[in-house]
Every structure is written in structure tokens, then in C-alpha cells.
């Protein structure tokens, strides 16, 4: 049976898109991936990820990457539905890949604390379930090489998306995560000026707080 691993990258940052990726492999290719050092992307350096990304793309039976924009994220977060947005993106990957491959075991790194409920919602968005086995787990990116491979694809694309933003706005944009001091300074400096640029997730407290501070300064507080 083929295995389709799916994982995300960039779920938490205040800057830039979230990425979902899927990687379809055979059992033999999975063994080759393990020998090559494919593992959860967070355990790899950027240089190593870029190297392994090429191996994954060359050896996978199929792969798919979905870029979820800041606008899409804001629209769903405001309604408390980021997990549902991720499920829809995962289903999009499954629907694109699930064409003519026979039986597929789909393994997803679940973003929700309620695995059963998230899985049920995901299944309502999948076009053809007849040949699929759907498995949702926490830490799937660590425990399954197909999901590890997907995490490498997702993280590599996230880094490319950030490189585009850095080219446009400068390296001081940082990693995009709220915990990054460079990102914090960038948000504080540009929150209002770039509010309509699509750079920021305006539903994040980091951006809201920066805009609030900017307004206070204007009022002389």
C-alpha cells in the first residue's frame, strides 16, 4: 500500500503564509528516505533540508504543496477556524494526489487537540474515500517517514516564501515568528504602514499590539 504523509509549516508566525505539503511514497522509498536521513524538518539544518527536498521530489510517486495566504488565515482565525482551514488544505492535497494509485494510507500530523473531531471534519472535504485509510496523529512528522518527507517539503517552501519577503522588505523581517527579536522590531516599525500588503497576519496579537502602540504614540501617550 502506498503511504501519503501530510504536514504543515509556518502555522504560528505573524508574518508570511502557512504551507501544507503531501508526499506519496512506497514502502521501499520510505526505507531509502530513512537511509538518506529524512526526518522531521525541525531536526534538520536549512542546508540539509534543501538537499533532502530534492531527493524527496525525485523519489516520491507524487507530491503536492499548498500555500495558504495571510488573508486566508485572517479570515478563518477571526472565526476561530484555523484548524478547519488546515483540514481543507489537507483535503485539497489528498484530492489532487488520489487519482489512479489504488489503496493509499494517508497519515496526517493533526493540528487539533481533538483528533477525532478534526478527522471527521477532514473526511467531509475528501472527494473519494473508497480507497483511503485516514490516520491522524500528533507527532506524526517524527513517527512516520512519509510525514517527515512532507514536513521537509513544507518547511522548504515556507523558507522560499520568506526569502521572497526578505528580498522585498529586507533581512530585518527575521523568521516571521513572534518570538524572533528581529521580527518583533519589524512588526513594531511597519505594522501600520504595511497593514494592507499581505505580509502580516492581522488576527495575531503581535500585529494588533504593534498597531495599538503606534496609535498611542500618535496621540502622545
Tens of pLDDT, residue by residue over 61-109, are 999 999 999 999 998 877 779 999 999 999 999 999 999 999 999 999 9
Q: What is the mean pLDDT of the chain?
A: 94
* Residue among 31, 21, 6, 3 at smallest CA distance from 161: 21
Name the β-bridge partners of 21.
Answer: 7, 65
| Separation CA 221–CA 208 (nearest Å) | 17
Compute the radius of gyration of the chain from its Cα atoms: 19
Q: Are strands 132-137 and 2-9 parallel, antiparallel or unpaired?
A: unpaired
What is the CATH number that goes with domain 2-165? Answer: 3.30.420.10
| pLDDT computed for residue 218 by the predictor | 55
- Vertex 49: Cα angle to 26 and 31 (nearest 5): 25
Stretch (H or E) spanning 23: strand 18-25
What is the CATH number that goes with domain 169-212? Answer: 1.10.10
- pTM as predicted: 0.93
Instruction: Split the chain (221 residues) into runs of 10 and give each run's mean pLDDT.
Output: 97 97 98 96 94 98 98 84 96 97 97 96 97 97 97 97 96 96 96 94 94 63 46
Q: Are 97 and 22 in contact (CB under 8 A)?
A: yes
Name the β-bridge partners of 62.
Answer: 24
Is it true that 2-165 and 169-212 share their CATH fold? no
Q: Where are the domains of the chain?
A: 2-165, 169-212
Amino acid at each position: 500500500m502506498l503511504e501519503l504523509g501530510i504536514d504543515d509549516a509556518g502555522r504560528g508566525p505573524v508574518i508570511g503564509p502557512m504551507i501544507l505539503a503531501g508526499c506519496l511514497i512506497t514502502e521501499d522509498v520510505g526505507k531509502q528516505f530513512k537511509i538518506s536521513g529524512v526526518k522531521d524538518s525541525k531536526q534538520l539544518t536549512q542546508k540539509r533540508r534543501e538537499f533532502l527536498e530534492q531527493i524527496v521530489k525525485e523519489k516520491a510517486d507524487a507530491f503536492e504543496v499548498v500555500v495558504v495566504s495571510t488573508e486566508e488565515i485572517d479570515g478563518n482565525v477571526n472565526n476561530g477556524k484555523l484548524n478547519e482551514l488546515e483540514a481543507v488544505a489537507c483535503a485539497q492535497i489528498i484530492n489532487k494526489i488520489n487519482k489512479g494509485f489504488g489503496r493509499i494510507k494517508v497519515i496526517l500530523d493533526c493540528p487539533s487537540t481533538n483528533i477525532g473531531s478534526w478527522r471527521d471534519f477532514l473526511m467531509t472535504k475528501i472527494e473519494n474515500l473508497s480507497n483511503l485509510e485516514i490516520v491522524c496523529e500528533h507527532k506524526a512528522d517524527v513517527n512516520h517517514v512519509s510525514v517527515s518527507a512532507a514536513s521537509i517539503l513544507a518547511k522548504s517552501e515556507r523558507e522560499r516564501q520568506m526569502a521572497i519577503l526578505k528580498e522585498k522588505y529586507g533581512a530585518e523581517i527575521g523568521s516571521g515568528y513572534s518570538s524572533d527579536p528581529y521580527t518583533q522590531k519589524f512588526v513594531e516599525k511597519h505594522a501600520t504602514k504595511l497593514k494592507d500588503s499581505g505580509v502580516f497576519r492581522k488576527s495575531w496579537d503581535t500585529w494588533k499590539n504593534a498597531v495599538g502602540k503606534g496609535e498611542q504614540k500618535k496621540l502622545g501617550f
